[in-house]
């Protein structure tokens, strides 16, 4: 039972899982009996194929907003417009997490595009219910920090706002994983994400390390790099969230 909420169900795995088909072609049957598609090289090829397909679909789904970002000048006054451009990114990331979670390591059972589209259809609205207020809140924090001298607040307020912003991003990472893989109500997902923020410190630290890596790559190299490496970063987020996913499935789903 969710603290103060209800239980829910896991997102259906759809066609991206490795369940056996009821009718196989002769070639697929031969591949299965000969062990084709199950070796280390085949699994690596399947992973690379899934990552590349998921990355391409993620960029395509988020492209309207990313194109808008390219047209904005780096002016603090454009922060609300930047947040608006980032709205499509939430459902795109959620669908990518769904596809990566339900990926197959078997070359004969690869359907990353189908899994991504299914994840987007299932998660677009639930993701926006959490992604939109998170973006709005982060925009308020960023706008305040960029105009901090005009607020007249003491300097320690800036540190406090920065810490709140980082905590909000870490909460958002947990919330994104939960809403991508489980069919909770938005308020229940929000409660669980806050609960796991301290319940599973390692998962939170893993998300924090990915946040630092993303910020460093964008600041030191190019702002486009995190977008181009989104699929591997999301796969790392899933790996770091295994304890969160396992406890949610065991204790908070029907």
Tokens in use for 172?
């958002």
Place of tokens 């608006």: 84
CA distances from 149 to 158, 165, 166 (A): 10, 18, 21
Distance of CA 76 to the CA centre of its chain: 26
Buried-exposed string 39-77: b where 16+ CB fall within 10 A, e elsewhere = eeebeeebbeebbebbbebbbebbeebbebbeeeeeeee
The CA distance from 185 to 68, in Å, is 31
Q: Give the model's pLDDT for residue 74.
A: 84
Rounded to the nearest integer, the mean pLDDT of the chain is 86
Residue 215's Cα: distance from chain center in Å? 16
Of 13-27, 89-103, 216-230, highest mean pLDDT: 89-103
Residue 121 neighbours by CB distance under 10 Å: 13
> For the chain, what percent of residues have pLDDT higher than 90?
65
Mean of pLDDT values over 187-195: 96
Confidence of residue 45 (pLDDT cuts 50, 70, 90): confident
Mean pLDDT of 95-124: 90
Q: Three-class SS of residue 132?
A: helix
Q: How confident is the model at residue 38 (pLDDT cuts 50, 70, 90)?
A: low
**Hey, what's the torsion of the CAs at 145, 227, 171, 68, to 10 degrees?**
50
98 in Cβ contact with 117 (< 8 Å): no
Contact 84, 167 (CB under 8 A): no
pLDDT in tens, 138-176: 999 999 999 888 878 888 899 999 999 999 999 999 999
pTM comes to 0.85
Describe the crossing of helices 89-101 and 155-181 by its angle, rounded to 10 degrees.
50
Q: What share of the chain is helix, strand, coil (3-state, %, to 5)?
A: 75, 0, 20
User: Which residue did the predictor score with more confidence, 25 or 218?
Assistant: 218
Neighbouring-strand partners of residue 152: none
Rounded CA gap, 141 and 111, in Å? 40
* Cβ pair 186, 133 in contact under 8 A: no
DSSP string, 133-162: HHHHHHHHHHHHHHTGGGTT--HHHHHHHH
229/9: higher pLDDT:
229
Neighbours of 25 (CB within 10 A): 10
């Amino acid at each position: 039972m969710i603290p103060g909420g209800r239980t829910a169900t896991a997102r259906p795995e759809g066609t991206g899982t490795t369940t056996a088909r009821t009718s196989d072609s002769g070639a697929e049957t031969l591949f299965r009996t000969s062990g084709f598609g199950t070796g280390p090289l085949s699994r690596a090829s399947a992973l690379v194929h899934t990552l590349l397909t998921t990355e391409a679909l993620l960029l395509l789904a988020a492209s309207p907003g990313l194109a808008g970002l390219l047209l904005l000048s780096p002016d603090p006054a454009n922060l609300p417009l930047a947040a608006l451009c980032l709205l499509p990114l939430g459902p795109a990331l959620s669908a990518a997490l769904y596809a990566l979670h339900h990926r197959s390591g078997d070359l004969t059972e690869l359907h990353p595009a189908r899994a991504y589209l299914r994840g987007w259809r299932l998660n677009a609205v639930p993701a926006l219910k959490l992604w939109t207020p998170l973006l709005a809140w982060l925009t308020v924090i960023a706008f305040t920090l960029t105009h901090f001298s005009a607020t007249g607040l003491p300097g320690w307020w800036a540190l406090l706002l920065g810490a709140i912003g980082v905590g909000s991003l870490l909460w958002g990472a947990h919330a994104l994983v939960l809403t991508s893989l489980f069919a909770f109500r938005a308020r229940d997902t929000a409660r669980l994400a806050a609960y796991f923020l301290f319940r599973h410190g390692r998962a939170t630290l893993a998300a924090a390390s990915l946040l630092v890596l993303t910020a460093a790559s964008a600041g030191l190299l190019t702002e486009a790099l995190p977008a181009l490496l989104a699929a591997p970063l999301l796969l790392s987020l899933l790996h770091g969230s295994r304890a969160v996913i396992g406890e949610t499935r065991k204790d908070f789903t029907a």
